[in-house]
Structure 1
Amino acid sequence: MEKMGNDNLKPFDIDHLSTNQSGILADLQEYISDGLKTPGHHVAVIEGAAGTGKSVLLTKLFKNIRQGMKDPDSPYQGLKTVFTVNHPELLKVYQEMGARYRDLYKKDYVRPTSLINSAHKTDSHYDVVLIDEGHLLLSKREPYIRFFQDNQLTEIIKLAKVVVVVFDFQQVIQGKMFWNEKLLNQVLTPYDHRIFPMNFQYRMEANASVSTWIDNFVTGKLSPLPADQGDYDLRIFERADALFATIKARNQEGGLARVLATTGFQRRADGAHHVVLDGFDLPWDEFDAQVKTWPNRPESINQVGSIYTVQGFDLNYAGVLLSPAFEYDAKTDRMVVNPTKVTHKEIYKKNPNLTDADAIAQAKTDFMYNALNILAKRGKKGLYLKAADPDLNNRLLELQAQAK
């Protein structure tokens, strides 16, 4: 039987931070305290790759602020605060935290568009706003979802005395949410701001050789798999059904083992949105309105997760299926992206911040590499890979045989 043994909140609500995290938390709290006493708007940017503990740090910071709001000796006494994230699955976790814990409330956690529109309607302002997954903020107008300004970060900064926002440019996955360092700097330049880097890995229990191989792989660079993997399990599979069988076995052992896939798999002939690959055929679960998050549902073992269901969450083992959009280029011995085979065209929506033809072409590749980066770094204990493109998968199998 699968050992769930963990609820939605466990990966986020960690009271005992590492020495590095505690140091950054102290620096952030000092920056916030100083900003509250200084004229103008102030922005703290937490930058870090997937698995560096950004959400854990932000959760602890928000709890500290909320608890201090009732303390007459705290710099947070009487503050008006709010927490926002543009990710429905993560919002479920945070709202559950608000419903369960003292000093927190479900209403403290909202989507950015709701926050902005509500504040404009009521002429509200905040002392401190925390933003998780800032790379998912809209950077263009989206009237369809009732966002009419140029970008959400600027609008939130205007509403707050101090903003704390998390950013990872390697998790930018859509045109309407396009961010790079240049654009972020343009937004931040008018305001006092400070970058807080997080360069340590907490999710993946992998040695340096494995971490480097995965870092290279998600940008297209191919090399022999490391022979010394320590306790981490990195494997290439010849068939998707064999990968799934291994994931199910791992799930029986300790839970939180799931199959994930990138966009690029065609729908079945009957119109069902399934991932179908050499004997493997399961639904691709893009979004579900259930309260329990996708990785924590027992039935999701028989579904295929996506960036929309696992971004920000931990798994023990991730089995990642690379769609036909990822191909092998024998001339360069690299994995490349074929944008014409990307099926989720929404990710290539035009953005006024992205107009140069070469930059657009690069972004189309980067969005897919970034999506793969998100999926490939979900597993704490292991990563299993299978590519739909035969040439790419054969090359990966060769590199596995050449492990050194």
Structure 2
Amino acid sequence: MVLTPFQVGESDAVFDLVLVDETHRLNQRANQASGVQNKKFGLINERLFGADAAHYTQLDWIKARSRHQLLLIDGAQSVRPHDLSPATLDAELRAAKDAHRHFPLTTQMRVKAGADYVEYIRMLLRGTVVDRPDLGDYDLRFFDDLGEMRRAIRARDAEVGLSRLVAGYAWDWKSRKDPSAFDIELDGERMRWNSTDKDWINSDGSLEEVGSIHTVQGYDLNYAGVVIGPDLRLAADGSVMADREAYRDKKGKENTGHLKDAFTDDDLLVFIRNIYGVLLTRGMRGTYVYVCAPGLRERLRIAFG
């Protein structure tokens, strides 16, 4: 059975085993995407624990409704403040280690670029200057012209399929209310965000659209064309910083969950770095990159070689 956390929480069954993919994306008691989900969250807490309290999470629901759990965790893929807090994830990891039930996944089977690629990308996003590792025949390219990158992605899609443009959430979603509007306009290119949230990659017209983090997390592509927006740039001292004004995901910078009382620019930077870390590791055969902010553009151009 494939279930959402809400379906597990509402179930009358007690499952023998629940395997949780992307445990870090489970929610804590925070403002949800809709009023219906906010109400459900409280009702499930009351049903399972007798009261609705702030410390109950969707992970607690799963534990209450299953005898055993297999949790796949990568805190570096948490992208919104209502995801499980770092403290909750750390507690789970400590408990697993103490019980000798912690099993690190030391290799990844998505990107055909060797074991060092994911860490290489994450280090660059943290601002660490590192040499490019041996990527074999992995096709990592840097583009100064967005139109050229779009044409390259179309060509890869014609050759092998599953090639798409994706971007950080640094542009308003005008086309959601006005289908004739364009959301992203760069280098003479006019583009729209994904027209559907459900299985966007395989939907009609997706090749001409731009996918957000919420449509590609958990998916594999053959080639990903990644637009790093103005929400990530270099500070005057050369460090990588977040631009709160340029980041347009309202739910992504909402004072909620473990950040309810203080959501700093450093907290936002963690989420934005995580978003780009995910986007830059979707492409199995290759990743093409275009960067908006001038300083960061120059640094990554040199890093990617």
1:339 match: 244
Give me the whole-angstrom Cα distance separating, in 2, the residues matched to 1:399 and 1:206: 16
Structure 2 gaps, min length 5: 46-55
Give me the whole-angstrom Cα distance separating, in 2, the residues matched to 1:342 and 1:313: 23
Give me the whole-angstrom Cα distance separating, in 2, the residues matched to 1:257 and 1:220: 28
Give me the whole-angstrom Cα distance separating, in 1, the residues matched to 2:196 and 2:271: 19
2:48 match: none
Check conservation: 1:141, 1:151, Cα contact below 8 A: no
2:49 match: none
Q: Deviations over 1:185-218 (max 9, x none)?
A: 4468889953221111211111466555323223
1:133 match: 22
Check conservation: 2:162, 2:221, Cα contact below 8 A: yes
Secondary structure of 2:108's aligned partner: coil
* Aligned positions, number: 283
Give me the whole-angstrom Cα distance separating, in 1, the residues matched to 2:2 and 2:21: 11
1:322 counterpart = 2:211: no
1:387 match: 291
Q: Deviations over 1:278-299 (max 9, x none)?
A: 122221117434xxx3223452
Secondary structure of 1:177's aligned partner: coil
Give me the whole-angstrom Cα distance separating, in 2, the residues matched to 1:377 and 1:190: 29
Check conservation: 2:255, 2:261, Cα contact below 8 A: no
2:53 match: none
The structural deviation recorded for 1:343 is 0.4
1:252 match: 158
The structural deviation recorded for 1:235 is 1.4
After TM superposition, the structure 1 = structure 2 runs for residues 154-193 of structure 1, keeping only pairs within 5 Å, are 154-180=60-86, 182-186=87-91
Check conservation: 1:265, 1:276, Cα contact below 8 A: no
Candidates 199, 204, 211, aligned match of 2:111: 204
1:221 match: 128
Q: What is the letter of the counterpart of residue 109 of structure 2?
A: Y
1:282 match: 191
Give me the whole-angstrom Cα distance separating, in 1, the residues matched to 2:72 and 2:116: 27
TM-score (norm 1): 0.63
Q: What is the letter of the counterpart of residue 2 of structure 2?
A: Y
- CA separation of 1:225/1:266 partners in 2, compared to 1, >3 Å: closer, same or farther? farther
Secondary structure of 1:321's aligned partner: strand
1:109 counterpart = 2:2: yes
1:147 match: 41
- CA separation of 1:110/1:268 partners in 2, compared to 1, >3 Å: closer, same or farther? closer
Give me the whole-angstrom Cα distance separating, in 1, the residues matched to 2:192 and 2:302: 30
Q: Deviations over 1:255-307 (max 9, x none)?
A: 11111001112456996462221122221117434xxx322345211111121
1:242 counterpart = 2:151: no
Give me the whole-angstrom Cα distance separating, in 2, the residues matched to 1:329 and 1:223: 19
1:376 counterpart = 2:283: no
The structural deviation recorded for 1:250 is 1.0
Give me the whole-angstrom Cα distance separating, in 2, the residues matched to 1:187 and 1:349: 25
- CA separation of 1:207/1:152 partners in 2, compared to 1, >3 Å: closer, same or farther? closer
Give me the whole-angstrom Cα distance separating, in 2, the residues matched to 1:178 and 1:273: 34
Q: What is the letter of the counterpart of residue 279 of structure 1?
A: G
Q: What is the letter of the counterpart of residue 72 of structure 2?
A: V
- Max Rg structure: 1
1:195 counterpart = 2:111: no
Secondary structure of 2:20's aligned partner: strand
CA RMSD of aligned residues (A): 2.8
Give me the whole-angstrom Cα distance separating, in 2, the residues matched to 1:190 and 1:314: 31
Check conservation: 1:248, 1:257, Cα contact below 8 A: yes
1:232 match: 138
Structure 1 gaps, min length 5: 1-107
Q: What is the letter of the counterpart of residue 183 of structure 2?
A: H
Give me the whole-angstrom Cα distance separating, in 2, the residues matched to 1:305 and 1:338: 21
Secondary structure of 2:227's aligned partner: strand
1:304 match: 210
- CA separation of 1:398/1:353 partners in 2, compared to 1, >3 Å: closer, same or farther? closer
Q: Deviations over 1:82-112 (max 9, x none)?
A: xxxxxxxxxxxxxxxxxxxxxxxxxx22211
